[in-house]
Every structure is written in C-alpha cells, then in structure tokens.
Amino acid sequence: MAQRAIPKEIEEKMQKAKDMKPEDMLFTYKGVLYPSLLCKPENFKAMERFEAIEDDILLVAYPKCGFNWMSHVLKKISDAAHGKRGETAQFTLLEFADPEKLQNLSKLPSQRIMGTHVQPKDIPASFFEKKTKVLVIFRNPKDTAVSYFHFYNKNPALPAFDSWDKFFSQYMSGEVMLGSYFDHAVAWEKHIDSDTVKIITYEDMIENLTEGIQQVARFFSLTLSDEQVQAIAQESTFEAMKNKSKETHGQMGNVIFRKGGVGDWKNHFSEEQSKELDTKFEQCLAGTKLGAKLKYEVHCK
C-alpha cells in the first residue's frame, strides 16, 4: 500500500475551509502571506527553536516548483538506501507543524526528512549551524505562475481568483501565499556555492529523472544500486504519482497533481505579461548561477 502523504487532519481542515470567508483564509506573518488553516504564528515561533541534526534531510521549494514530487522521491531514496519499505516517518512540513508536533519531531531518530516553503532567513538557524544538507528545487517562473494559479483555484483552503490576469498581477507583486518567487530565488542564489545546499530544477528532473535521483542520492551520501534507481524512477513519474494520488493524497490529489509538464505557460500568458516577467527575470537573476540553472531562454521564450 502506498504511504499516505497528506495526513487526514489536513483533509479535515480542508472541509472546514468551505465555511470560511475568502478574506480569512490567509494571514500575514512578518510581511508574508500564509494559509490560516494550516499555519499559526506560534508555529513559526516554535520553528525558531527547532534543533536540526547533521544527518537530517531538508527539502525546500517555492510553491508549485515540484515540492510534493521531490518529497516522494526523497522518501523513496531514503527507504531504499536504508533497506526499508515505506517505513519512513511521515514527511513533516515545518510551518504546518504546531509546537507539539515539532517537539515530537525532535524526539524522532534519524534520518528525519522535513520540508518547508519559507525563505532561508526563516528556516531554523540550527540547519545552517549544524551544516545539515538542504535540497532546493526550483521551476521556471512562468510555469510556476500557471501551476500556482490553478492551485489557488482548486484548493478549498485558498481564496480563488476570478481571472488569470488578476492572479498574474499579484504573483508579480508578491501578494500571493509565500510571497514573491523572485525574492525566494534571490535569497537562495546567495547559498548556491554552499557545500550543504544543492539546487536542482524541475525541468532537469523531468528531462532525466534517473540522473536526478542519482545526483540527489549522492548529495545526501546515500548509496543506491542501479536497480533501485530505476525502480524509484518508475514509481516517481508524474503519471505514476497522479494515478496513485487518491490513495496517497486523498481529496488533495486533484489539487496537487494537474499536468506536471513544461511549457503550459504559453496557454495563459499574454505577450505583454511574458515580456513583463522577462524583464523581472533580467532584473533579479540575469548573470547569476541560479539564473543559468533555470535555462530561461529554453523554457520561457
């Protein structure tokens, strides 16, 4: 049986969202919007005190950049490397964990696998102090925007947008949940040469999933056989995960898994919007190592 990725309590909160007013679905903490059903200010205060250990695994991504996909891949890699079969503890999203859950997480044995959508400055300092390895996945900003738009409109815990144009405007200004894509990108660019941070891209993983799995395993010093790599790749294609999404993610499966491809932005962006984002990319990431990794000319032109 596939391991359940979305706890039932989150599904229960999704049900509560049906009775909420759109203006109550998000709250601001330190200038950034978060989902009020899943996050509380006390969660972030508890995060600040969280103690990482060196062999923890931390996955980070701006929303809709492949986070759920990579959390699945990481658990598969860890299980295979440690000779387990679906025994990895529940993947924990740090900002969704209340103080009690974070306390319980602190008591778990290694190797703990955790994730977050927050910027480096909001990640518990202990991850950097202990030199815990951090895997960051980025996706090209145009496809990220389109995926995020649909995620907003299919997710009962978020206020829907009545038009793509309105969403695009707020995406560009950073007035969406978790803030600006480009703020995240600029912040992680500063860590790109760190031995404990590895940045991969959604597009590279799509293009060569087998090689991506091998790179991630090596980064975390986990040994896999060729047969294990192939098995993980077969179980981790978008199609395979979407087919099992009801089993693994419950009602959130249809929210999380949509198309999973590259280039859908062309079906949504106007020429003016495309040029506006091109200009923003030039201002924020042109000439940077992360900018080069994103292969903007290939995926966004």
Positive/negative CA dihedral, 44, 49, 53, 54: positive
Q: Would the pTM count as exceeding 0.95?
A: no
Q: Please report the pLDDT score of residue 255 as a whole number.
A: 47
Q: Please report the pLDDT score of residue 260 as a whole number.
A: 61
Phi, psi dihedrals of residue 156, rounded to the nearest 5°: -65, -15
pLDDT values of the chain reduced to their tens digit, one per residue, 301 residues: 344 455 566 666 666 777 788 899 999 999 999 999 889 999 999 999 999 999 999 999 999 999 988 998 999 999 999 887 655 556 789 999 999 999 999 888 878 999 999 999 999 999 999 999 999 999 999 999 999 999 999 888 899 999 999 999 999 999 999 999 999 999 999 999 999 999 999 999 999 999 999 999 999 999 999 999 999 999 887 666 655 545 454 454 454 555 667 899 999 999 999 999 999 999 999 999 999 999 999 999 9
The residue among 220, 182, 284 whose CA lies nearest residue 74 is 220
- The domain made up of 8-299 is a member of CATH 3.40.50.300: yes
The residue among 219, 52, 55, 197 whose CA lies nearest residue 138 is 197
Q: Which residues are identified as catalytic?
A: 117
Positive/negative CA dihedral, 274, 279, 280, 285: positive
Q: Please report the pLDDT score of residue 1 as a whole number.
A: 33
Give yes or no for a cis peptide into 234 (omega within 30° of 0): no
Q: Please report the pLDDT score of residue 85 as a whole number.
A: 63
Q: Please report the pLDDT score of residue 16 as a whole number.
A: 73
The residue among 69, 74, 114, 70 whose CA lies nearest residue 95 is 114
Q: Extract the tokens encoding 112.
A: 């703990």
The residue among 301, 294, 298, 292 whose CA lies nearest residue 274 is 301
